[in-house]
Amino acid sequence: MRLSTCQQYAHEIFNAALKAVHPYHLIRDQIKRHKDQLILPDKSKLDLKSFDHIYIIGTGKSAAPMARAMEEILTDVLTGGKIIVKYGHTDKLDKIVQYEAGHPLPDENTLVASRQLLVYTTHLTSRDLVIVLLSGGGSALLEYLPTEINLNELKELIQLLIQSGATISEINCVRKHVSMVKGGQLAWFIAPARCISFMLSDVLGDDPAVIASGPTAADPSTYTEAIHILQKYQIFTKVPASIRTHLEKGYSIQIKETPKPGDKIFERVQNFLIGNNTLALQAAEKKAVKLGFQTQINTSKIHEPVQKVADKISGIITELQEKSKPADKPVCVLLGGEPTVKVSGQGTGGRNQHLALLVAHLLRDNTKPYLFMSCGTDGTDGPTDAAGALVTSQTITQAAKKDLNPQDFLNNYDSYHFFDPLDLLIKTGPTLTNVMDIMLVMVP
């Protein structure tokens, strides 16, 4: 099989993964309605006639298609709805108001939209139902700050965390403890109404307490842990003083902790997972087999620093090349998860592009054919318009012809400008889904 054919098939396999986790279809496939009964993913039933009002609120990159699906299901009984999405991630909705705001860093629209969303929660009773739609990106898009912390200070904190190499779980632990709506605190606003959340996971382990910083899930993390995370990555003294003071007040129990497992506030709350990285990988595997590959899913739990992930992937490629024989089927190995990157350069890129460039550089002396692709399922890798990048055994040679030195771009964390002139960036535009990253290895 030629590398050009592999390149075409890699795109087809990735697209199959995206299709399997499109949030509109996930909702329509898992949530049904029979007359006045709403049938939930666990097959339990909810009597819609028992509620005086039904509201939909949501946040995240996938909130709009999720809202469209729920609007279709509940159109005749829906009182109203409000969602917050990343700029450019809207959908066609009739009864649900859409607000656009900043991501990965919140902006003024984040705070304004969040206040508008919380208006619904001010007069709720036990005879009301609130359906919450959550997906990746929700941590940045929904925010209600303590009075002593301002937006610029929050943005500075998040930027430090993103560049530190902290995992998403660690980042969200800190976010929960500088917020009044994350870490189960939205459940406080919604009570005493019934609350049902549908979640699309972009985190390892699919923990409801981590997805979108778990606004409707019990939070086992603490102020103490948040401080330890900032100390672990040596950024505690760099964050704004107002945030340090707030966390220290929480540590000394001057501020109420986030609601914990067993809290009565969650007695009328249900959280349902509707899609994740594993589901996307399974669809990718099915497509690869159909295209004639001997296929396996290696893992859906990639979370190590990007250099370790690159070492792992280059090792997989080398091992497959050594084992392959001319008569063998081409091989496709699939991986999922989210590598971490500690950024130290001034360039442009994202973890997927940086990973792809690392793999190509590690295999620079390997002339046997291979292909590697790594992409974010949300269509955005870092602060760029690319989902990720693709490399082959020919990439380093192609780069040399254009006087592109991979090491220079790696040192400056500028993978985007390495791949752009080689036409190896993967650009999908907003996919309206988000289940971490998909990585694909091919040995023809």
Q: What is the CATH number of the domain that holds 429?
A: 3.40.1480.10
CA quadruple 68, 73, 74, 76: dihedral positive or negative?
positive
pLDDT above 80 for 327: no
**118: number of Cβ within 10 Å:** 18
Do 269 and 326 belong to one domain? no
Asked if residue 204 is part of any domain, the answer here is yes
pLDDT tier at 328 (50, 70, 90 boundaries)? confident
The strand ranges marked E within 278-330 are: 294-302
Report how far apart, in Å, the C-alpha atoms of 159 and of each of 31, 130, 382, 384 are. 37, 32, 12, 16
pLDDT band with cut points at 50, 70 and 90 for residue 390: very high
Query: Are residues 297 and 202 both part of a single domain?
Result: no
210 shares a domain with 70:
yes
Instruction: State how far the Cα of 414 lies from the Cα of 406, in Å rounded to an integer.
Output: 10
Say which CATH number the domain at 183 has: 3.40.50.10180
Q: What is the mean pLDDT of residues 127-139?
A: 97
Whether residue 133 is found in the same domain as residue 96 = yes
Whether 212 and 284 map to the same domain: the answer is no
What is the model's pLDDT at position 345? 83
Count of domains for the chain: 2
408 shares its domain with 431 = yes
Q: Taking Cα atoms as reference points, which of 427, 436, 408 lies closest to residue 340? A: 436
What percentage of the chain reaches a pLDDT higher than 90?
94
- The CA-to-CA distance between both ends of the chain, in Å, stands at 5
Which of 283, 301, 299 has its CA nearest to residue 291? Answer: 283
Q: What is the pLDDT of residue 313?
A: 98
165 assigned to some structural domain = no
Let me know if 305 is exposed, middle or buried by CB neighbors in 10 A (0-12, 13-18, 19+). Answer: middle
Instruction: Mark whether 327 and 400 lie in a shared domain.
Output: yes
Alpha carbons 183 and 175: distance in angstroms, whole number: 9
Rounded-to-integer distance, Cα 399 and Cα 405, Å = 7
Q: Are residues 267 and 343 in the same domain?
A: no
Is the predicted pLDDT of residue 324 greater than 90, yes or no?
no
Q: What is the pLDDT of residue 1?
A: 86
Dihedral in degrees, nearest 10, Cα atoms 380, 402, 11, 279: -50
The angle subtended at Cα 190 by Cα 184 and Cα 193, nearest 5°, is 125
Identify which of 117, 110, 112 has the alpha carbon closest to the alpha carbon of residue 96. Answer: 117
Residues 312, 381 within the same domain: yes
Q: Is residue 170 one of the residues assigned to a domain? A: no
- pLDDT at residue 264, as a whole number: 96
Tell me, yes or no, whether 431 and 348 share the same domain.
yes
What lies within 8 Å, CB to CB, of 231 at 6+ separation is none
Cross-strand partners of 47: 37
Q: Which domain holds residue 87?
A: 22-144+179-221+258-275
Residue 387: name the closest of 412, 342, 424 by CA: 424
What average pLDDT does the structure give for the chain? Answer: 96
Res 167: pLDDT: 87
Average pLDDT, integer, range 92-109? 96
Q: How far is CA 144 from the centre of its chain?
A: 21
Are 268 and 346 in a shared domain? no
Look at residue 228 and tell me if it is in a domain: no
Position 252 in a domain = no
Is 237 within a domain?
no
Residue 245 inside a domain? The answer is no
